[in-house]
């Protein structure tokens, strides 16, 4: 696939929070990462508003294990309280993703150099990402490195599982052209250890949240990929 990267994602703990568990101050992780969480990780490797990051597949390499911890989160009004968070433990995934140009940002057409973006993205992946990698929550540090998606042995390579309805991700105005924020739901299915994600526009369960407008970018507020490539020594 064009503009694609494949990488291994690891961490001691992950917290891809099921929003239904946050109502009472507790947090329980989904069994697998959401599309939105993985998209955020890909964006931490490399991102510009010119691009839309698309997550294609995830391969679950380690067994799904949970661990609960007593946490004392800080309250907004001051002080702290006691809560129980349930994390995923010892996670290892292989992810395949690619980027597409954001057609809802015609003002950034000058920055659409496919080859240079892809080269910088691969270089950023080798360096472990341009920003810190978090596995769903800031206290869950993650690490990325290039890999071959289909190589190696995964724990679920011969297993099929269904995970029930869960959050897929959010529709933001800069990626949809609509001045609103909405949430997408879907039912992921694992086949031989691999989950193939729906593209955002393929999700049928979409719920409106609130009005929202996109942030503006332009030549005066964003470095072009040509300039970035030259500053990094050419790509």
Q: pLDDT of 44-77, one tens digit each?
A: 999 999 999 999 999 999 999 999 998 877 777 7
Residue 25: per-residue pLDDT: 75
Res. 2 pLDDT band, cuts 50 70 90: confident
User: Domain spanning 4-229: which CATH class is it, in words?
Assistant: alpha beta
Res. 114 pLDDT band, cuts 50 70 90: very high
Q: pLDDT of 126-171, one tens digit each?
A: 999 999 999 999 999 999 999 999 999 999 999 999 999 999 999 9
Residue 189: per-residue pLDDT: 97
Where are the domains positioned within the chain? 4-229
Q: Rounded CA gap, 80 and 77, in Å?
A: 9
Q: Rounded CA gap, 108 and 102, in Å?
A: 9
Residue 235: per-residue pLDDT: 52
Across the range 5-15, mean pLDDT stands at 98
Q: Which range, 73-87, 95-109, 209-223, is most confident?
A: 95-109
Res. 38 pLDDT band, cuts 50 70 90: very high
Q: Which residues pair with 188 in a beta bridge?
A: none
Longest dimension (CA), the chain: 52
């Amino acid at each position: 696939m064009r503009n694609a990267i494949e990488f291994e994602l690891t961490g001691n703990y992950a917290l891809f929070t099921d929003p239904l568990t946050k109502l009472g101050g507790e947090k329980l992780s989904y069994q697998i990462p959401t599309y939105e969480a993985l998209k955020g990780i890909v964006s931490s490797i490399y991102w510009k508003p010119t691009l839309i990051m698309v997550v294609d597949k995830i391969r679950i390499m380690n067994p799904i294990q949970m661990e609960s911890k007593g946490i004392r989160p800080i309250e907004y009004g001051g002080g702290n309280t006691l809560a129980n968070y349930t994390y995923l433990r010892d996670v290892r995934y292989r992810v395949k993703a690619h980027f597409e140009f954001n057609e809802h940002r015609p003002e950034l057409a000058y920055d659409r150099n496919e080859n240079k973006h892809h080269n910088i993205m691969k270089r950023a992946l080798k360096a472990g990402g341009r920003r810190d990698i978090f596995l769903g929550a800031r206290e869950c540090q993650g690490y990325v490195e290039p890999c071959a998606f289909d190589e190696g042995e995964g724990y679920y390579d011969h297993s099929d599982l269904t995970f029930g309805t869960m959050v897929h991700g959010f529709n933001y105005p800069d990626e949809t052209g609509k001045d609103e924020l909405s949430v997408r739901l879907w039912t992921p299915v694992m086949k031989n250890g691999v989950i193939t994600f729906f593209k955002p526009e393929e999700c049928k369960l979409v719920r409106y949240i609130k009005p929202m407008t996109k942030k503006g970018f332009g030549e005066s507020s964003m470095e072009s990929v040509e300039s970035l490539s030259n500053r990094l020594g050419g790509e």
